[in-house]
Amino acid sequence: MYKSIDDINERIRDGSVRVVTAEEMPDIVDELGVSGALREVDVVTTGTFGAMCSSGAFLNFGHSEIPIRMEKMWLNGVEAYAGIAAVDCYIGATQESITKGIEYGGAHVIEDLIAGKAVELRARGKGTDCYPRQSITNEFTLADLNQAIMLNPRNSYQCYNAATNMTNRPIKTYMGYLLPGHRNITYSGAGALSPLPNDPTFSVIGSGTPIFLGGANGTVVGEGTQHSPGAGFGTLMTTGDIKEMSLEYIRAATMTGYGVTMYVGVGVPIPLLNEDIVKHTAVRDEDLVTSIVDYGTQFRDRPVVKKVTYQELKSGSVEIDGEEIKTSPLSSYKKAREVANELKARIENGSFLMASATRPINAVKKNRPMSEHGVVRRVSEMMVATFVTITGEKSVKEAATLLLKANTNHLPVIDAENRLTGIVTTFDISKAFARDEEDRSVSNIMTRNVITAVPDEPVDLAARRLLQHNIGALVVVDPAKKVLGMLNSQDLGDLVGERWHQ
């Protein structure tokens, strides 16, 4: 048996359409079988509501008396991209306010517009014969705009990694706060209720597919940026009219220590045209596998800690190394259900019709990492290999003499096997003299917890470590903790200077 989009739209118009949410579908297929479910159900609605950083809006302001071509623009202090003709901009959700930082950003501007609040516009232009004005300050509301079109480059991930942190310090990520020693796991997405897991072959979702976006009836533009369905990570580019949106389904948010993001509600209807589509919509949380990855690593390819299903993630805990670790979502399952149910209601009441996609979305494509041609500087290239060391039983005076002679502030302390045991700085020595320490041996005054680097790591990582610990140098060591060199902040400063001069 087959159904056409026209058959389904006919039933939507005459009020006989049968719509269920993706949550209800697996049980229906179990009960009626695939062909029975195809006869009984016309449309499956999906929904998701989560942090989708890759979102934003095109705004058109209309022309002012004494026209201006706005080249630089700020909305409530948040810079919007104004390099588009004269009186348009694109405001990105993650752009941060120049005064309020991560507490207010592009997502908040969009939220304020939907709430009906006035937003301050400040813009500059160079002034030309056709656009003589050079600056403008104005206030506007959503109603004043000709267009406010949400265009989100990357929404509604097919699947997303779950996050944990294997290091010994807490980290602040776009996946939330991750406690040290993998004490928590966070994940995103509504699992089997999410749009793309219900159409993994993109047989019905394509350019032009009508969707629910932030409360408005919107459209799929096509594949999203970083679309990688071949790896299970398909994405959608979506658009909708902000004037029809509601704060129930669009919310600005801040991930502390990371930045601004926007919670977006996306719902996609899946018209059941044939048995293959029905089979896909019968997906359950236990069928969907994702990886828990270590966000503690600062490299692109994060190690996979464990593979899990959405059923396990949603259960509230996952076992790692024999320990039950608490999980929490950062997307809202309650809101995802609201999206799927609201979309269902709109189809049932005839205000939302199905349409065939005008262009298909590639269902096998894989995303590529950046092809980098610049040289990545390694610690080994920047470190100083001529350095002095001292042993722990030497006196503070001997340490001071060595530091003066070598014209340095950092003196690694080594044991008889040449292994690093501590570090003495000029500050430690001053402190020892000021406090009149009785035991004036190096081992008594040295810092034992030495911050180190390894030769083959990129200097950018080492530089960040210097900043985080507020120190002037890192000791470069091999795996056996033997000292290979010193990486000084001055040398890194020279490197940065060199970059800017190029």
Q: Does 474 bind other proteins (CB under 8 A)?
A: no
Q: Does 50 bind other proteins (CB under 8 A)?
A: yes
Identify the three-state secondary structure at position 221: strand
Interactions with other proteins, residue window 328-367 (CB under 8 A): 328-335, 337
Provide the token pair at 352.
């939302």
Element (H, E) at 327: strand 323-329
How far apart, in whole angstroms, are the C-alpha atoms of residue 295 and residue 11?
A: 48
Q: How far is the CB of 185 from other proteins (least distance, A)?
A: 6
Residue from 46, 49, 240, 277 binding other proteins (CB under 8 A): 49
- Residues facing residue 430 across a β-bridge: none
Give whichever of 282 and 330 is closer to other proteins, judged by the CB atom. Answer: 330
Q: How far is the CB of 341 from other proteins (least distance, A)?
A: 12
Give whichever of 107 and 196 is closer to other proteins, judged by the CB atom. Answer: 107
Taking CB under 8 A as the rule, which mask of x and - marks residues 154-193 in contact with other proteins?
------------------x---xx-x---xxxx-------
Q: How far is the CB of 163 from other proteins (least distance, A)?
A: 10
Q: How far is the CB of 251 from other proteins (least distance, A)?
A: 6
Interactions with other proteins, residue window 206-225 (CB under 8 A): none
Q: How far is CA 295 from the centre of its chain?
A: 12
Q: How far is the CB of 326 from other proteins (least distance, A)?
A: 4
Burial of 443 (0-12, 13-18, 19+ CB in 10 A): middle
Q: How far is the CB of 117 from other proteins (least distance, A)?
A: 16
Residue from 61, 160, 212, 263 binding other proteins (CB under 8 A): 263
Residue from 13, 326, 469, 482 binding other proteins (CB under 8 A): 326
User: 53, 89, 130, 159: which one is catalytic?
Assistant: 130
Angle at 59 (CA atoms; ends 57, 63), nearest 5 degrees = 170
How far apart, in whole angstroms, are the C-alpha atoms of residue 24 and residue 45?
A: 10
Provide the token pair at 17.
């359409």
Contacts for 182 with CB less than 8 Å, ≥ 6 apart:
164, 165, 166, 294, 305, 320, 321, 325
Assess whether 130 carries a catalytic annotation: yes
Interactions with other proteins, residue window 242-261 (CB under 8 A): 251, 253-256, 261
Give whichever of 11 and 251 is closer to other proteins, judged by the CB atom. Answer: 251
Angle at 22 (CA atoms; ends 17, 24), nearest 5 degrees = 80
How far apart, in whole angstroms, are the C-alpha atoms of residue 36 and residue 40?
A: 6
Q: Candidates 62-70, 267-275, 321-329, 485-493 — which segment interacts with other proteins by CB under 8 A? A: 321-329
Q: Does 22 bind other proteins (CB under 8 A)?
A: no
Number of residues that bind other proteins (CB under 8 A): 31
Q: How far is the CB of 27 from other proteins (least distance, A)?
A: 17
Q: How many CB atoms lie within 10 A of CB 149?
A: 18
Over the range 296-308, which residues count as b (16 or more CB within 10 Å of their CB) and which as e? Answer: beeeeebeebbeb
Q: How many residues does the chain have?
A: 502
How far apart, in whole angstroms, are the C-alpha atoms of residue 67 and residue 392?
A: 74
Interface with other proteins (CB under 8 A): 49-51, 172, 176-177, 179, 183-186, 251, 253-256, 261, 263, 316, 325-335, 337
**Active-site positions?**
130
